[in-house]
Amino acid sequence: MKNIKDYNLEELKKEMQEIGEKPFRAEQIFKWLYQEKVKSFNEMTNLSLELRKKLEENYSICNFKIIKKQESKDGTIKYLFDVLDGNAIETVLMSYHHGYSICISSQIGCKMGCKFCASTGINFIRNLTSGEIVEQLLAVEQDTGVRISNIVFMGIGEPLDNYENVVNSIRIINNPKGLNIGARHISISTSGLVPKIYKLSEENIPCTLSISLHATNNEKRSNMMPVNNTYPIEELIQACKDYIAKTNRRISFEYALAKDNNDNLEDAKELVKLLKGMLCHVNLIPINKIENGKFDKSSNENIMKFRDYLNDHGIVATIRRELGSDIDAACGQLRRKNLKE
């Protein structure tokens, strides 16, 4: 059965016409799903009983079930959701002084194989549909009662490897008649799929692009991220420069510091050379040590020295606040643990 949450508003209007209904029905359904956040067609009380029955017979409303929920002392909540086909995905709700932010998954498993990631070792199973991406947000809001204001595509999966569904989910999230969260409050993270970065620059979606960089030369980066063998640093940085030129939007570079691997001052110097003059920001991430992981966390002293070097040399850099360190907060950890149990 087709998931009603997979449609953006324009698609749903066409779909309604195809089943002999007026297009404005799509707006009513959108309002029920994303503003009233109902869980069944039966609750859509301004639709006729006949239409509700027709919807019931032809479409599903995917309502995830919570398999596990872990709450951190700092307010971070990590969910393991049953996506209703026997698979599970992770979603994390984080609380900041400026509001609630959600980290969502885009795929079940991941093909990229980054060595520092807990999702590595979880085979790629399939892409999430647009509706399944959106449902993560709805399910968390329904469970907690909070209003989410920021979304980061940094959970399990490479968002740009599921390009069409991710972009479509943003159109649903973004729509004033949908969840009405502005694209400026949405961040897409990529391990560096160069052709998709160019494609994204052509879309009229002013979201933030976040690049998982993590190293400044091909040898080190390929060692951490096999995707670098296909799209080496020079091509990735050129794509970023072209993206900035086309969109006039600042790029965020993620740099996970791993002890004795990419956290010394030589690395900081190379990073300055690489990013000099770009409209960008560097987000330094104290790496989350994972079970059987190859990398250890850098010392606080090294992390601060690294940040100060960047800031002193014209690259704006901040250290990401560690959230959920008392729960399985690295992406893939909760799912991996659950698979073993």
The nearest distance, CB 212 to ligand SF4, in angstroms, is: 6
Q: Give the DSSP per-residue string, 225-255.
A: -THHHHS-HHHHHHHHHHHHHHH---EEEEE
Helix ranges (H only) for 32-89 are 49-58
In the set 193, 251, 331, 334, which binds ligand SF4 (CB under 6 A)?
A: 331
Instruction: Tell me, yes or no, if 135 is annotated catalytic.
Output: no
Mark the segment that binds ligand SF4 (CB under 6 A) among 55-63, 73-81, 131-139, 154-162. Answer: 154-162
Backbone Cα Rg of the chain: 21
140 scored as a contact of ligand SF4 (CB under 6 A): no
Backbone angles phi and psi of 97, in degrees to 5: -65, -25
| Distance separating alpha carbons of residues 100 and 83, to the nearest angstrom | 23
Report CA-CA distances (Å) from 269 to 1, 252, 279, 309. Answer: 54, 18, 18, 8
User: CB-wise, 101 or 105, nearer to ligand SF4?
Assistant: 105
- The least CB distance from residue 187 to ligand SF4, in Å, is 14
> Is 90 a residue of the active site?
yes
Q: Which is nearer to ligand SF4, 115 or 259 (CB)?
A: 115
User: Which C-beta is closer to ligand SF4: that of 13 or that of 196?
Assistant: 196
How wide is the angle at C-alpha 156 spanned by C-alphas 152 and 157, nearest 5°?
95
239 binds ligand SF4 (CB under 6 A): no
Q: Which of 21, 90, 132, 135 is catalytic?
A: 90
φ, ψ of residue 184 in degrees (nearest 5): -65, -15
| Of residues 13 and 335, the one with the C-beta less far from ligand SF4 | 335
Interface with ligand SF4: number of residues (CB under 6 A): 12
Closer to ligand SF4 at the Cβ: 4 or 114? 114
Q: Which is nearer to ligand SF4, 178 or 332 (CB)?
A: 332
The yes or no reply on residue 159 touching ligand SF4 (CB under 6 A) is no
* Binders of ligand SF4 in range 178-237 (CB under 6 A): 191
Closest CA to 6 of 147, 158, 178: 178
**Of 75, 74, 139, nearest in space to 104 by CA:** 139
Q: Does 157 bind ligand SF4 (CB under 6 A)?
A: yes
Tokens describing residue 88: 């599970």
Considering only residues 97 through 126, tell me which ones interact with ligand SF4, judged by CB under 6 A. 110, 112-114, 117, 119-120
Q: Is 169 in the site for ligand SF4 (CB under 6 A)?
A: no
CB of 311 to ligand SF4, least distance (A): 26
Name every residue whose Cβ is closer than 8 Å to that of residue 254 and which is 6 or more positions away in sequence: 189, 210, 211, 212, 213, 214, 283, 285
If one asks whether residue 162 binds ligand SF4 (CB under 6 A), the answer comes out as no
Residue 272 makes contact with ligand SF4 by CB under 6 A: no
The HSE-up count of residue 312 (CA atoms within 13 Å, CB side) is: 9
Q: Terminus-to-terminus CA distance in the chain, angstroms?
A: 31
Asked whether position 158 contacts ligand SF4 by CB under 6 A, the answer is yes
Q: Enumerate binding residues for ligand SF4 (CB under 6 A).
A: 110, 112-114, 117, 119-120, 156-158, 191, 331
Which positions are annotated as active-site residues?
90, 331
